[in-house]
Amino acid sequence: MPTAALQNGDMMRAETKLNDDWTFACGFDAAWTTQPVSGESVTLPHNAVDLPLNYFDETSYWKTFTYQRVIDNMSDMVAELRFDAAMADAHVWVNGELVTRHRDGYTPFTVPLVQGRNLVTVRIDGSENPKIPPFGGRIDYLTYAGIYRDCWLCEFPASRIRSVKIETPDVLAATKTVRVLVDTDEEATVTICDAEGIAIGQATGNGTVTITGLAARLWSTTDPALYTAEVAIPSGDRVIERFGFRSVEWTPNGFLLNGEPLKLRGLNRHQSFPYSGYAQGKRSQEKDAEILKYDLACNIVRTSHYPQSHYFLDRCDEIGLLVFEEIPGWQHIGGESWKDESVANVERMIRRDWNHPSIIIWGVRINESPDDHDFYIRTNVAAKALDTTRPTGGVRCIPDSELLEDVYTMNDFVLGEFEMPGNNRPRTPLRGQKEVTGLDRNVPYLVTEYNGHMYPTKAGDPEERQTEHVLRHADVLNAAMGDDRIAGCIGWCMFDYNTHKDFGAGDRICHHGVMTIFREPKFAAYVYASQKAPSEDIVMEPVTVWARGERNIGGVLPLVILTNCDEVELSYANVVKRVGPDRERFPHLEHPPVIIDDRHFSAEELGSWGQSWHAGRVTGFVDGKAVAEHVYPADNLPQRLIVAPDVTEAAAEDGEIRVIVRALDQAGHKLMFLNDPVTVTLDGPATLIGPETTVLAGGTAGFWLRPTGAGTVTITVKTPRFDPVETQIVLH
């Protein structure tokens, strides 16, 4: 049972993870609040109902569930439980007395304990209750049910520190200032320490403690320098909060981080996973942040459409990934009590997350909702009352929307309207901000969604659709990068996700992602990945399965190659052509795609339907030197099966580990249309999340395993065409 303890004097504040030994039962009976429940022993985080990958019944979790645990509290200090989140409407009894109700599925809540025996009974209502956000209308995502984040036993002195808020005014000064707002009844001593724990400043005061003259590095996307504020009071209570020195400024001419212009490029993220829903822990949350930053070269993520795990935000702080965080909701605005709860959501979100340097804007409007002047005055006022250091935004999809926030944030799906019947607008990646806002002046402006439902694409879709999917993302990125009046753009979305029947592609999956639901990249992912510097990583991904019969009439052009190389060379038969990035179509991208078409190859050189098909070679060059190569056999055949876990050694307590299975040809390319069954068996201290038998889709299959203790886990994967593959993960 991991314990984090902060000691000062004779007293100790302690937080102990309390995820084990919960009893779970379907339904609820009032008698269970005073007597032990007969049910299943489970470990948190827990999903009340695991769903199949697709074609599921989302109403299966629209009911009540019960969690129960006995806690013997022998501490002389004040004790309480903190649930990091539970979905969606939680009632908690202690020894038969109702002590807590929390109607927000995304933020923490606490439960007071008595000294001695505590029978804690938690009633979870997983139904889409129209009285609380985000429910009441249709929503394009699932909310699942259960206690899906960690539970903690918290102990602290009677005289305690209730909250700590850290502000960093004038960060661009030669020496830095920290202002620490401490909610406590005692005088507080604040010590600022660097990442090595070395104290760089200290002061004592009541309420607000200010420390000046600090020599400190700025927090940025390239150097996410973090510091800690240790706050101690005479009673013995002590709190440590992490923060960074950084400034954010949104202007009509773009976004500034620490006074320097930064074009924002990112993707939206849901917190869901296949089978397990929301119920995955620290490692899964951190991995998503790392994929966004390192694999996809994003500098910002939007937590669509609700506050997400603190583990995810902590990792964003650590790696320098900016965050747009928003309150729960999707298009629908409910009645007055619903609005009251939404305003409370604003307050809970900000109080939980106000010390994260990665968060640069608060989303205080229900995603894609209509205007509601009085309601959105309230959400903005609530945000400003708690935090004046960050601006507010409100994501809309309607033009001429009333601007009450600091930043006009817009889901611009204009690229796609050219396909709509009766629409006369040509292919248009993004609208100018004045057309969207209806204002006669420029304002801070951010595009918060694009593409997505306008062009859903499965990993195994035909090559021509994959190519168009790629070009749509590239077109929007190019338009945003070339308009100084747009701070940046956040695409829809990072990965495919489960959803309601109203939105899924027949299978209850929204195939809107640049990655699959298992976080495996589609071709469109490389539009983003290719924007990283070649010194960081060489990216070269041709959008092709290299087959004569994949496209209409046996064509193979245009061939789009997503790369950060200076030039790309295509060799076919006895013809070799070297082509540079298409800066004419994409003048504003740092690394435009290479597009090889009839400007470079004649029909005779590549041939057409009925003519022989040859192997191809694609080579990437940087500074005249060959740095990347793809060889494409003319007769690609199944050659090998790769089983790739995210880690091969890990702490069991950090949670689930993703494993990707790839079917490859003799040149190492995924066999996009191979759909053989895949059987997975585990030996060792872990359980499989999902079925033992699945299928390859887009050349891959994925699953997670959940550690159950220390030891070695052996994973064996079998398919009809390949020899079994075995790999191991060591857990400690």
Which residue numbers are catalytic? 368, 449
Angstrom distance (rounded) from CA 507 to CA 456: 13
Angstrom distance (rounded) from CA 23 to CA 281: 19
Angstrom distance (rounded) from CA 527 to CA 468: 12
Sheet of 657-664: strand order equals 640-645, 657-664, 700-707, 686-689
The number of angstroms, rounded, from the C-alpha of 220 to the middle of its chain's C-alpha atoms is 19
Angstrom distance (rounded) from CA 228 to CA 522: 39
Burial class (CB in 10 A: 0-12, 13-18, 19+), 469: buried
Give bridge partners of residue 266 from the DSSP assignment: 300, 490
Angstrom distance (rounded) from CA 690 to CA 66: 23
Spatial contact of 454 and 493, defined as CB atoms under 8 Å apart: no
Which one-letter amino acid corresponds to residue 88? A
Angstrom distance (rounded) from CA 95 to CA 118: 6
Measured in Å, how far apart are the chain's first and last C-alpha atoms?
14
Tokens of 73: 């509290």
Spatial contact of 1 and 16, defined as CB atoms under 8 Å apart: yes
Q: Is the dihedral of CA 31, 33, 37, 42 positive or negative?
A: positive
In the block, tokens 């789009």 appear at 560
Angstrom distance (rounded) from CA 574 to CA 576: 7
399 Cβ contact list (under 8 Å, min separation 6): 431, 435, 436, 437, 438
Spatial contact of 82 and 151, defined as CB atoms under 8 Å apart: yes
Q: Which of 361, 612, 601, 604 is nearest to 488 (CA)?
A: 361
Sheet of 40-42: strand order equals 40-42, 22-26, 64-73, 116-125, 89-94, 97-102
Give bridge partners of residue 25 from the DSSP assignment: 66
Distances, alpha carbon 719 to alpha carbons 20, 56, 385, 645, 691, in Å:
36, 25, 59, 18, 15
Q: Which of 104, 23, 32, 645 is nearest to 344 (CA)?
A: 104
Which contiguous run of DSSP H or E holds residue 376?
helix 373-386
In the block, tokens 């009844």 appear at 185
Cβ neighbours, 10 Å, residue 434: 14
